C-alpha cells in the first residue's frame, strides 16, 4: 500500500504541476512561461517526486515506465496492475482539481486542457505517423535513461536529476508535435476534461509509450546484460 500511495502522489504531482503550468501559466501575455517553462515544470515534477518517494515505489508515475520495469526485470508482473490503476487515478484526480480551480475564473475555457493529440489536436498540426514515431522514440530513451541511472553501479543520488532533465528535454522537442505524452496516465487525465476529441485519440498515447518503453527496456538489457 505504501508503494501504491507513493505512485498516486507522484503521478498526481506530475499532472497537477506539469499540466497546470500549461493550463494556467504558459500563455499569459507578457509573463507567460511558454514552452521552456512548461518543459521545466514537467521535469521538476519528476525530479522532486523521485527524490521524495522514489525509494518507496521506484518513482515510476507512468504506466509505460512500470511496464518497462517489468520487461527489464526490475518489477514483478503481479505488481503492475496496481501501479497502473493508481497512476491513472492520480492523474485523473489531479486533472479534476485543475478543472475545478480553473472554473473559478469567469474567463476559464477548458479547450485543449493540456491534452495530447495529433492532426488537428497537435499544437503544430503533425499527423498520426509523426506523433506515433516521436512518442515511441522519446519514451524508449526515457525508459533507457531511467534504467541506466538507477543501476546499482550508477552514481548514487544523481538519478532523479538525470531523469528530470531527460523529461525536460523530451518536452522541449516534442511539445509542438503531440503536446508531449510519454505517459499514458498523464494523457488520460487531461483527455477526460479536454473539450476536444482527445479521448478519441487517447489510444495512441497508450500504444506508442508502451511500445517505446518495451524498446527502451530491451535496449538496456542488450547493452548492460544482467546488470541490475
- Which pTM does this prediction carry? 0.93
Whether residue 26 contacts residue 148, with contact meaning beta carbons closer than 8 Å, is answered with no
CATH of domain 2-224: 1.20.1080.10
Q: Does residue 11 contact residue 94 with C-beta atoms inside 8 Å? A: yes
Q: Do residues 55 and 4 make contact, with C-beta atoms less than 8 angstroms apart?
A: no
Taking only the tens place, the pLDDT of each residue in 52-67 is 998 999 899 999 999 9
Distance, CA of 228 to CA of 221 (rounded, Å): 9
CB 102 within 8 A of CB 24: yes
For the chain, domain boundaries = 2-224
Grid-cell match 516521436, residue found: 134
Residue numbers in the chain where pLDDT is lower than 50: none
Cα–Cα distance, 171 to 138 (Å, whole number)? 9
pLDDT in tens, 24-52: 988 777 778 899 999 999 999 999 999 99
CA 124 distance to own-chain centroid: 20
What pLDDT was estimated at residue 226? Answer: 56
pLDDT value at position 225? Answer: 66
Arithmetic mean of pLDDT over the chain: 93
Give pLDDT, residue 79: 96
Amino acid at each position: 500500500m505504501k508503494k501504491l500511495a507513493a505512485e498516486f502522489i507522484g503521478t498526481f504531482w506530475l499532472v497537477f504541476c506539469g499540466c497546470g503550468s500549461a493550463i494556467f501559466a504558459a500563455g499569459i501575455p507578457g509573463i507567460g512561461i511558454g514552452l521552456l517553462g512548461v518543459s521545466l515544470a514537467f521535469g521538476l515534477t519528476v525530479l522532486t517526486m523521485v527524490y521524495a518517494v522514489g525509494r518507496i515505489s521506484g518513482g515510476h508515475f507512468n504506466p509505460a515506465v512500470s511496464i518497462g520495469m517489468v520487461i527489464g526485470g526490475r518489477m514483478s508482473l503481479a505488481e503492475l496492475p496496481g501501479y497502473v490503476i493508481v497512476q491513472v487515478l492520480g492523474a485523473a484526480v489531479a486533472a479534476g482539481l485543475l478543472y475545478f480551480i480553473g472554473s473559478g475564473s469567469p474567463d476559464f475555457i477548458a479547450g485543449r486542457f493540456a491534452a495530447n493529440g495529433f492532426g488537428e489536436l497537435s499544437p503544430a498540426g503533425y499527423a498520426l505517423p509523426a506523433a506515433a514515431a516521436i512518442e515511441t522514440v522519446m519514451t524508449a530513451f526515457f525508459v533507457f535513461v531511467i534504467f541506466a541511472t538507477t543501476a546499482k553501479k550508477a552514481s548514487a543520488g544523481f538519478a532523479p536529476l538525470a531523469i528530470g532533465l531527460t523529461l525536460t528535454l523530451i518536452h522541449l522537442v516534442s511539445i509542438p508535435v503531440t503536446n508531449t505524452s510519454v505517459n499514458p496516465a498523464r494523457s488520460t487525465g487531461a483527455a477526460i476534461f479536454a473539450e476536444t476529441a482527445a479521448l478519441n485519440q487517447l489510444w495512441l498515447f497508450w500504444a506508442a509509450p508502451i511500445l517505446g518503453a518495451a524498446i527502451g527496456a530491451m535496449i538496456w538489457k542488450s547493452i548492460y546484460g544482467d546488470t541490475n
